[in-house]
Structure 1
Amino acid sequence: MERTSKIIRRTIYTFLKNYQYFTSTAAILAFPASVSILLSESLVPSLLPLLSVIHFRLQTLFDAAGFPPSSQFFSLLNLKLSQTISSSILSIPFTLSFLLLAKACVIHALHHHKVSHQPSFSSFLSLYTPLLITHLCNSFVIMSANAATFSVLFLAFNILDASGFSSPSIILIVSAAAAILYSVILANTLIVCNLSLVIAGTDNCSGFLAILRACVLIRGRVSTALSLALPVNLGLALVEALFQYRIIRVFSHSERLSPSIALEGMLIAYLYSLFILLDTIASCILFKSLKSSSQMDLESRYVYLEQNMGEEDLDAFTYSKNLPELL
C-alpha cells in the first residue's frame, strides 16, 4: 500500500501532466455544480421557512430521543444538520447532473488512459448511470450511518439517565465522546462512498455492490484514506470560506452585484471545481493502490499456504482469494 504522501504527489503530478484537459472539459462540467453548492450554502440563512422547518423537526426528534436539551453538541449538530440538508436540497439538481458527469469524465480518462485525447460526450456518458445509482445508494448509506449513530447515542444517554448519572460534567464528557464517535463514523462513511463511485466507474458494478467492494478494499487501510481526504476537504472548506468573505460579505454590504464581484465569484467557483477534480483524481489513484495492494497480499498468502496447507484447505482459500472478483 502506497503512503499518503506518495498518493498526493501522484495526484498533483497527474493533474499537472494533463493540466489542459482537467482545466477545460472536466472543470467546466463541474463548474455549475460548484456554483450551486457555494450559493446554496449562502442562501440557506435567507430561506428561513425551509431551514426552520427542518430545524424544528430535528429538534423534536432529538427531544423525543431523550438527548439533553442543554448540550451544546446536540444544539450545534442540529443547526449544522439543518443547514446541510437545506443546502443539499437546493443543489441536488446540479449534483445529480453536472457533478456526476464531471466525475465520470475524470474516471473515464484515468481508467482508459485517454487523458491526452479530448473524449466525446458519449464516451463517458455511459458511466453516468452507474454513478447515479451508486450516488443514490450512497445517500441512503449516509442516512443509515447517521441513524445508527443516533441510535447508539440514544441508548447511551437513556442508560445514563436511568442510572442517575445526569450531572452536567458527565453529560459534557459523554457529549464530547459522542462528537468524536459521530465524526469517525461519518468520515469513514464518506470515504467508502467516494471510493464506491470510482469502483462504479471502473468495474462492471453499481449501487450497493460497489459500496460492498469499497468496504472490502478499504478494510485495514482507513487511516491512509482519512489522511488523504483531509487536505482536499480542507481546501474545499477554505474555498467556501473565501467565497463567503469575498462575495457574500461584500454583496450583503453593497446590496448590488457589480461585474468585478461576479467575476471574482466565478473564479472562486472555478477554483472549487478544481478541488473537486483533485479529490476525484486522488480517489482513482487510491483505488488503484488499494486494488494492487490487496491482490499482492492475497497472492503472497496463497503462495505461503500452498506450501503449508492441504489440498482441501487450499481450495477453500482459492475461493476466498477470488471473493472480491465474485462480489
Structure 2
Amino acid sequence: MDFAGKILRRSVHGFLLNYHYFTSVSAFLALPFSASILLSQAFVPSSSSLFPQISNRLQTLFDAAGFPSSSSSKIFTLFGHKASETIASIIFILPFTLSFLIIAKASIFEALKQPHRPASSASSFTSMIFLYKPLLKTCISNSLLVISAIATSYCLMFFAFGVVEGLDDTSPDTLFLVTTCGAVIFSVLLANALVISSMAMAVSGMEGRGGYLAILKACVLLRGRTSMALLLALPMNMALAVIEALFHFRVVRAYRVGGRAEPSMALEAIFIAYLYSIFIVLDTIVASMFYRICKTRSRINDEDGKLLVRIEISGEDNYEFEKTKNFEELP
C-alpha cells in the first residue's frame, strides 16, 4: 500500500513538472475521446437503434448456449443489459479511441521519455506520429486480449451451466450461485486483461514497440505485481467513475428534465469532459511510472529478436548472481 502511494505521488509530481503542457496539449488532444465516452454512456443506450439489436442478439446467443432465462436469473439479465450497453458504447467511441486517444497518449509518453528536456521539444509532432503506429498496433492487440478474456469467461460459464443441466439441478438457488461465481470470474479475468493492456500501452509508448510483443513484455513485467497494478488502477478508475456520475447528474439529468440543451449546460459538459481528460493523462502517467519501476527491477531486454529476462539475486553478503533466460525458458 505504501509502495502504491509512492508511485501515485511520483506520478502527480511528474504531472506537475509539465503541468502546462499536460493540461494544454495532452488534455485537449484527449478531449474529443472524453466527450465521446461520456456522451456514449449517457445517450447511446437509450437513443440508438443499435442497442436493442445488440441486446436481442446477445439474448438469443445466451438462450442457445443454455444460459438462464431473464425470468430465472435477474443477475444474468442485468449482466446482459450492461454488456449490450458496453458494446454499443464501444462501437460509438472506437473512431475517437483509434485517433485522439492514441495521439494524446503518444504526446504523454514522448514527454515522459525525456523529462529533462522541455515538453514542447520532446513531444514534437514528428515524435508523436512515430509513436502512433506502435500504439495503434498495441491498442488493437489489447482489444483482442480483452475479447479473449470475455470469451474465456463465457466459455467457463457455459461449461458450468452445462454441468448444472446435466445434474438436473436448475433450482433458483443453484442458478444464482453459478451466475454469481461466473460474474466474479468474469470480473477477475477482465480486470487482469485491462491491467495487462495498460502496461502494454506503457511498454509500447516508452520503447516504441507495438503489437503482441508489447503484451508479452507486459506479462513478464507484471509477474508477481498484478495486485500492485490493480491497486494503482483502482483510484484512477474510481475518479473516472465519479466524473461519469457527475456528468449524468449535472448534464444528462438536466437535459432530460428541461428537454433542451442550454449554453450553460454545454459549457458545463465541456468542463466535465476536460476534467475526464485530465484524469486520463494522470492514469497514463501512473502506468508509465509503474512501468519504469518494473523495468528497473526486471531488466527486460530484446536482443536479436528474442525476449530475454535478466534475473538478479542479491544475498546477505552483497554477492550478486545474474542469469539471462529466453522467454520460452521462463516457468
What TM-score comes out, normalization by structure 1 length?
A: 0.90
Letter in 2 for 1:225: A
Q: Which has the higher contact order (CA 8 A, sep 6+)?
A: 1
The answer on whether the counterparts of 1:191 and 1:225 sit within 8 Å (CA) in structure 2 is yes
Letter in 1 for 2:77: S
Query: Is 2:237 the counterpart of 1:236?
Result: no
Identity %: 44
The answer on whether the counterparts of 1:105 and 1:124 sit within 8 Å (CA) in structure 2 is yes
Query: Is 2:217 the counterpart of 1:213?
Result: yes
1:51-78 Cα offsets, whole Å, 9 max, x none, are 0010011111111111111222221111
| 1:4 alignment partner in structure 2 | 4
The answer on whether the counterparts of 2:27 and 2:278 sit within 8 Å (CA) in structure 1 is yes
| 2:66 alignment partner in structure 1 | 66
Query: Is 2:157 the counterpart of 1:153?
Result: yes
The answer on whether the counterparts of 1:21 and 1:116 sit within 8 Å (CA) in structure 2 is no
Unaligned runs of 5+ in 2: 301-308
Query: Is 2:271 the counterpart of 1:249?
Result: no
Alpha-carbon deviation of 1:204?
Answer: 4.2
1:185-237 Cα offsets, whole Å, 9 max, x none, are 00000000111011111224211111111111111111000010000000101
User: In structure 1, what is the Cα distance between the partners aligned to 2:31 and 2:117?
Assistant: 19
User: In structure 1, what is the Cα distance between the partners aligned to 2:57 and 2:91?
Assistant: 16
Alpha-carbon deviation of 1:164?
Answer: 2.2
| 1:91-106 superposed matches below 5 A | 91-106=93-108
User: In structure 1, what is the Cα distance between the partners aligned to 2:116 and 2:28?
Assistant: 18
Letter in 2 for 1:122: T
What TM-score comes out, normalization by structure 2 length?
A: 0.89
User: In structure 2, what is the Cα distance between the partners aligned to 1:298 and 1:117?
Assistant: 32
User: In structure 2, what is the Cα distance between the partners aligned to 1:264 and 1:121?
Assistant: 30
The answer on whether the counterparts of 1:146 and 1:186 sit within 8 Å (CA) in structure 2 is yes
Query: Is 2:313 the counterpart of 1:301?
Result: yes
| 1:311 alignment partner in structure 2 | none
Query: Which stretch shifts more, 68-77 or 1-10?
Result: 1-10
| 1:168 alignment partner in structure 2 | 172
1:292-314 Cα offsets, whole Å, 9 max, x none, are 1223995433889xx89xxxxx9
Unaligned runs of 5+ in 1: 309-313
1:267-309 Cα offsets, whole Å, 9 max, x none, are 10000000100110000001011111223995433889xx89x
Q: What's the secondary structure of 1:301's corresponding residue? A: strand
Letter in 1 for 2:106: A
Letter in 2 for 1:212: L
Q: What's the secondary structure of 2:260's corresponding residue? A: coil
Q: What's the secondary structure of 2:68's corresponding residue? A: coil
Counterpart among 138, 141, 144 of residue 137 in structure 1: 141
- CA RMSD of the aligned region, Å? 2.4
Q: What's the secondary structure of 1:38's corresponding residue? A: helix
Letter in 1 for 2:149: A
| 1:84 alignment partner in structure 2 | 86
| 1:213-292 superposed matches below 5 A | 213-292=217-296
